[in-house]
Amino acid sequence: MTSPSRLPVLAGLPLAVGAGLAIPVQGRINGALGARLDDGISAAVVSFSTGLLVMILISLLLPRGRAGLARIIPAVRSRAFPPAYVLAGGIGALFVFAQTFTVGILGVALFTVATVTGQTVSGLLVDRLGLGPAGKKSVTGIRIVGCILTIAAVAWAVSPRFATSGSGAESGGGAAALLLPLLLPVAAGFLMSFQQAMNGTATVHYGTPIAATLVNFIAGCLVLWTVLAIKVVVAGPGNPLPAEWWYYLGGPMGCVFIGLGALLVRTLGVLVTGLGMIAGQLMGSLALDVFVPAPGSVVALPTVLGTILTLAAIILATLPWPRGALRGRRPVG
């Protein structure tokens, strides 16, 4: 088994932020495709399927991809890691479901805060349990403060959108009507850290994140194509596929942040990798709203300051602080 080399933290964190930049661009493309098809499930299937085609080509054309491809079945058969890890792509499908079915109810702002909260909390848990390839990481006071600041910063950054979010819920029972839809993005965000840990562990045994990303897209496509088949039987097909090429870029962008996430968790751990991607997501969203604004886009001072505070929170959680900082004693490892 040839494990991918570890990256220095100073190189890994900017890569995590860079990977996060692709997330809002993918969301904008998939959202436009869903509107064009009048079907969020079909849009998710197109996104995952194009991503799968890209990963198949990369796996076949690159020597490292072919080597990783040859290691997938032996690694699973030998139980080098729990076999359930090959189903990590199903978590990505769950996230798409959450996005498709709850953004219209909650609004983008509340959906973002819900997923970030779930992902940040589970990042602490996954690192503490040592499920990722970086091993166990103590739940120190500094890391907890960094997580709380991240959630607060994201809430502040998206706060200008709250005025226009969740209009459907307001007409259907207020806060009580939001509770159940809110649980789905929280759960999807919570499971995302487990997905990154699974992918990172699989990457160590495959020798490359290319193979782990390919397996992710296979699992996600199986789930989404099954759901689409049921939907077509019940409700019939949606609109025909568009001819414009840019509608099909969402899947390749997913390859970028899934592959980089699988590589980076070995160096940064699950929590810091997730926080870096969250910062990139906010920065990408801000750039889109400034340079390519969509209808209803809001760029206000809290958006800018919240994004900056998110970066500060990540630095706080990442720097090598003295052991026992904020606790006055040596943390339990």
- pLDDT at residue 322 greater than cutoff 70: no
Query: Whose CA is closest to 206, among 57, 63, 76, 48?
Result: 76
Nearby residues of 168 by Cβ (< 8 Å), 6 or more positions away: 104, 105
Q: What residue spans define the domains of the chain?
A: 10-162+178-318
pLDDT confidence of 25, banded at 50, 70, 90? confident
Give the pLDDT confidence score for residue 159 in this predicted structure.
80
Interval 140-195: pLDDT, tens: 888 888 888 888 888 888 887 666 555 444 444 455 566 777 888 899 889 999 99
pLDDT confidence of 85, banded at 50, 70, 90? very high
Looking at per-residue pLDDT, the higher value among 101 and 265 belongs to 265
Give the pLDDT confidence score for residue 164 in this predicted structure.
58
Give the pLDDT confidence score for residue 136 in this predicted structure.
85
Give the pLDDT confidence score for residue 168 in this predicted structure.
47
Q: Which residues of 164-173 are buried (b: 16+ CB within 10 A; e: fewer)?
A: ebbeebeeee
Give the pLDDT confidence score for residue 247 in this predicted structure.
93
Give the pLDDT confidence score for residue 297 in this predicted structure.
66
Mean pLDDT of 26-50: 88
Give the pLDDT confidence score for residue 172 in this predicted structure.
47
Give the pLDDT confidence score for residue 110 in this predicted structure.
74
- Which token pair is 254? 């997913």
Interval 90-104: pLDDT, tens: 998 888 778 777 776
Three-state SS sequence of the chain = CCCCCCCCHHHHHHHHHHHHHHHHHHHHHHHHHHHHHCCHHHHHHHHHHHHHHHHHHHHHHCHHHHHHHHHHHHHHHCCCCCHHHHHCHHHHHHHHHHHHHHHHHHHHHHHHHHHHHHHHHHHHHHHHHCCCCCCCCCCCHHHHHHHHHHHHHHHHHHHHHHHHCCHHHHCCCCHHHHHHHHHHHHHHHHHHHHHHHHHHHHHHHHCCHHHHHHHHHHHHHHHHHHHHHHHHHHHCCCCCCCCCHHHHCHHHHHHHHHHHHHHHHHHHHHHHHHHHHHHHHHHHHHHHHHHCCCCCCCCCHHHHHHHHHHHHHHHHHHCCCCCCCCCCCCCCC
Mean pLDDT of 107-122: 82
Give the pLDDT confidence score for residue 332 in this predicted structure.
44
Q: What percent of the chain shows pLDDT beyond 70?
A: 84
Nearby residues of 266 by Cβ (< 8 Å), 6 or more positions away: 4, 6, 132, 133, 134, 200, 203, 204
Distance CA(231)–CA(10), nearest Å, equals 46
Q: Does the reported pTM lie above 0.85? A: no
Highest mean pLDDT among 1-10, 62-71, 99-108: 62-71
pLDDT confidence of 78, banded at 50, 70, 90? very high
Least confident of 126-130, 188-192, 222-226, 312-316: 312-316
**Average pLDDT of the residues of the chain:** 83
Give the pLDDT confidence score for residue 214 in this predicted structure.
96
CB-based burial label for 225 (10 Å; 0-12, 13-18, 19+): middle
- pLDDT at residue 2 greater than cutoff 70: no
Mean pLDDT of 20-44: 86
Q: What percent of the chain shows pLDDT beyond 90?
A: 33
Least confident of 51-60, 183-192, 235-244, 313-322: 313-322
Measure Cα distances from 215 to 86, 125, 208, 209, 263 in Å: 6, 24, 12, 10, 14
